């Protein structure tokens, strides 16, 4: 995916919040930072120009420049006169191990008690970070699913998952009706190991619009990878949760 593809999203023109303390330049900065930080845009990708950013978000060139200056100051991009700006950050997530049985049970309950809305379902070439996780070549594809999960009519979770092409039963309709754990089980896929990290971030224009929160609000981040009995990575999911709508609990065995 390129920045040109991301900035072509017409929703960006109305995604910024004018009635919050967070300045517009910082909202633009947060959006671009999240796309870089989580590997949606790979290392080395050329950044859009300040003119392109100002047009996409309908902000001034000064606002676009300040957003780019913030990214450069934090080391997310490099800027060279005559060559433009490029992504300098390489995403590397550290993982924590947890007992699988209790985790899968909690995932199944969550899938049954909430409502899922599918935003995107397609077979795509993943970004560089995801290619490296799965050990893929530059032209290999995975199934990308982007979903919004709601409870009592309120969105509380935004999910982006990349999954191997495991068969036709893993489709958009079933993802709306069933938990992914149940889908894997019905397809005979035995999950043997789960690795995950739990961190925090701030909402940007994209995630804030879907989760119905202002830009700059704190979100809980869950980064999860699931492996089969052969040690092959089957599925990777990146999830953002509204902390005011969701509580994440884990139980650990001392045995």
Residue 127 shares a structural domain with residue 171: yes
Give the tokens for residue 190.
Answer: 């035995």
Residues 126 and 102 in one domain: yes
Nearest to 87 by CA among 205, 3, 162: 3
Do 118 and 200 sit in the same domain of this protein?
A: yes
Q: Outline where DSSP puts E strands in the chain.
A: 77-80, 84-87, 96-97, 115-124, 142-151, 154-163, 191-202, 218-228, 233-241
Residue 101 lies in a domain: yes
Q: CA-CA distance, 116 to 148, in Å (whole number)?
A: 6
CATH number at residue 186: 3.40.1410.10
Tell me the residue range of the domain where 128 lies. Answer: 96-241
Q: What pTM does this model have?
A: 0.62
Residues 77 and 52 in one domain: yes
Q: What does the pLDDT read at residue 119? A: 93
Separation of first and last alpha carbons in the chain: 44
Same structural domain, 167 and 229: yes
* DSSP at 208: H
- Confirm if 225 and 236 have CB atoms less than 8 A apart: yes
What tens-digit pLDDT sequence spans the chain (255 residues)? 567 777 777 666 666 777 666 788 888 888 888 778 766 777 888 888 999 999 888 899 999 999 999 999 988 899 888 888 999 987 554 444 444 444 444 444 454 467 889 999 999 988 877 888 899 988 899 999 999 988 878 898 899 999 999 999 999 999 998 888 889 989 998 888 888 887 778 887 788 889 988 877 888 888 889 999 889 999 999 888 888 776 555 555 555
Residues 179 and 213 in one domain: yes
Q: Two tokens at 26?
A: 């910082």
What confidence score (pLDDT) does residue 173 get?
Answer: 95
From 53, 87, 121, the end of a domain falls on 87
Tokens encoding 176: 């709306």
């Amino acid at each position: 995916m390129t920045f040109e593809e991301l900035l072509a999203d017409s929703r960006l023109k109305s995604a910024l919040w004018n009635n919050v303390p967070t300045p517009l330049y910082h909202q633009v900065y947060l959006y671009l930072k999240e796309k870089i930080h989580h590997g949606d845009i790979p290392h080395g990708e050329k950044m859009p120009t300040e003119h392109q950013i100002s047009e996409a978000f309908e902000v001034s060139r000064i606002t676009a420049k300040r957003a780019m200056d913030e990214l450069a100051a934090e080391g997310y991009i490099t800027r060279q006169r005559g060559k433009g700006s490029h992504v300098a950050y390489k995403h590397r997530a550290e993982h924590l191990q947890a007992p699988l049985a209790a985790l899968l049970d909690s995932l199944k309950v969550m899938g049954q008690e909430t409502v899922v809305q599918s935003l995107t379902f397609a077979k795509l070439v993943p970004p560089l970070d995801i290619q490296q996780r799965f050990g893929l070549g530059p032209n290999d594809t995975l199934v990308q699913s982007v979903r919004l999960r709601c409870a009592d009519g309120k969105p509380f979770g935004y999910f982006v998952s990349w999954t191997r092409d495991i068969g036709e039963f893993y489709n958009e309709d079933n993802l709306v009706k069933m938990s992914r754990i149940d889908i894997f089980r019905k397809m005979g896929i035995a999950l043997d190991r789960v690795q995950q990290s739990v961190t925090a971030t701030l909402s940007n224009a994209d995630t804030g619009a879907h989760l119905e929160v202002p830009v700059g609000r704190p979100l809980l981040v869950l980064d999860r990878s699931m492996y089969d009995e052969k040690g092959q990575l089957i599925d990777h999911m990146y999830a953002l949760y509204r902390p005011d709508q969701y509580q994440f609990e884990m139980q650990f065995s001392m045995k």
